[in-house]
Amino acid sequence: MRWMARRGWMYLCALAISAFALFPIYYVVITSLKPRSEIYTRTPDLWPNHPQWHQYTRVLGEGHVGRALANSLIIAGATTVICVVVAGMAAYALARLEVPLRRTLLMLILTTQMFPLVVLIIPLFVLMRNADLIGTYQGLVIAYLAFTVPLAIWIMRGFIVTIPEELEHAAMIDGATRVGAMFRVILPIAAPGLVATATLSFIAAWNEFMLALTFMNEEEKKTLPLVLQQFVGRGDVDWGAVMATSVIYTLPVVIFFLLLRKRLMQGMTAGAVKG
């Protein structure tokens, strides 16, 4: 009994918070599996009585969702590749080499992460328009580099700093050049950190909405968040389609999170909490 009094309420709290965290996700998944008649009802069931994949085949086939999925993958993928290469080089320099004004540069990079995107978007729009990049993949990828590169530099530098410098010195004594040591010694050890950084950059680009909303006026090249916004913004919302699209949109991120839980947390805290 004393145990119940002491620990019982904690279990109750944990259960309530788990429910708060999981229920919306659960409810979306079951809604996406329900037929229309079970969605538009005044007495919603907490279980799909006639589960079916119809919504998924429908949005992927008829809707723009399949195309948007491909667009999102292309844009987020290209952003990630460019971002990791560019930021990796800078992160190495800032972690290992003698760079004048290093501290100032680092603090500037950190500060850029705090900027509201709305403060950059008007000139970015003009830049894109003048370069004729509105409505193109390249335009959005370039715009996404504006916020993924500083983030990635900061996180990757955090990873590289933890690698003992003696390893490089040893490699260089054994005949490797600085660049050689960078590729042959640091790169393999930093690989997990690189994967985490790549994943975080991918997620950042995958989730981005405001820049896509502004630059992607081309119907064929819209990304998933834009399609979702169009669905939800209509007067008569097709909730089955919205929920299936939400699941398709969220699933890759959830998989990344579950696979790389520890690493991502490390990366996020390196970027957000620790120097």
Partner 1 sequence: MSTTSGQAVVAGRVRAPRPSAAERVTRAASKLTLPVILLLPAMTIIVGLVGYPLVKTIWLSFTDTRLGDLINGTSTWVGLENYKEVFSDEQLRTSLINTVVFGTACVVGTMLLGMAVALLLNQRLRFNWFFSLAVLLPWAVPALAASSIFKWLFDDRYGFVNWALVNLGFHHFQDYAWFADRNSAYVAMFVVVVWQSFPFIALSLLAGLQTVPKDTLDAASVDGANAVQRFWLVTLPLLRPILAVLVIFSTIWDFKIFDQVYVMAQGVPDRAADTAAVTGYREAFALGHFGTGAAIAVVLFCVLLAFSIAYVRLIGKEART
Q: How far is the CB of 190 from partner 1 (least distance, A)?
A: 14
Nearer Cβ to partner 1, position 6 or 61? 6
Nearest to 26 by CA among 53, 57, 48: 48
Footprint (CB under 8 A) of partner 1, residues 1-20: 7, 10-11, 13-14, 17-18, 20
How many whole angstroms separate alpha carbon 205 and alpha carbon 212?
Answer: 10
Q: How far is the CB of 94 from partner 1 (least distance, A)?
A: 8
183 binds partner 1 (CB under 8 A): no
Residue type present at position 112: T
Nearest to 271 by CA among 156, 146, 147: 156
| Cα-to-chain-centroid distance, residue 144 | 11
Nearer Cβ to partner 1, position 1 or 21? 21
Q: What would the x/- binding string for partner 1 be over residues 135 to 154, using CB under 8 A? A: -------xx-xx--xx--x-
Instruction: Quickly count: other Cβ atoms within 10 Å of residue 196's Cβ.
Output: 23
191 binds partner 1 (CB under 8 A): no
Residue 96 host element (H or E): helix 65-96
Q: How far is the CB of 191 from partner 1 (least distance, A)?
A: 19
Footprint (CB under 8 A) of partner 1, residues 199-238: 206-207, 209-210, 213-214, 224-225, 228-229, 231-233, 237
**Residues near 86 by beta carbon (within 8 Å), at least 6 away in sequence:** 145, 149
**Residues near 212 by beta carbon (within 8 Å), at least 6 away in sequence:** 140, 222, 223, 225, 226
Q: How far is the CB of 100 from partner 1 (least distance, A)?
A: 8
Q: How far is the CB of 192 from partner 1 (least distance, A)?
A: 18
| Cα-to-chain-centroid distance, residue 249 | 11
Q: Which stretch binds partner 1 (CB under 8 A): 49-57, 58-66, 193-201, 255-263?
A: 255-263
How many whole angstroms separate alpha carbon 3 and alpha carbon 125?
Answer: 62
Q: Which of 66, 138, 167, 178 binds partner 1 (CB under 8 A)?
A: 178
Q: What would the x/- binding string for partner 1 be over residues 21 to 50, using CB under 8 A? A: xx-xx-xx--x-------xxxxxx------
Q: How far is the CB of 93 from partner 1 (least distance, A)?
A: 4
Q: Which of 132, 177, 183, 188 binds partner 1 (CB under 8 A)?
A: 177
Q: What would the x/- binding string for partner 1 be over residues 78 to 117, using CB under 8 A? A: --------xx-xx-xxx--xxxx--x-x-xxxxxx-xxxx
- What does the DSSP 8-state code read for residue 209? -
Between the CA of residue 144 and those of 31, 90, 121, 212, 248, what are the distances in Å?
A: 33, 17, 11, 9, 22
Nearer Cβ to partner 1, position 78 or 145? 145
Q: How far is the CB of 246 from partner 1 (least distance, A)?
A: 4
33: which 2 tokens? 């599996």
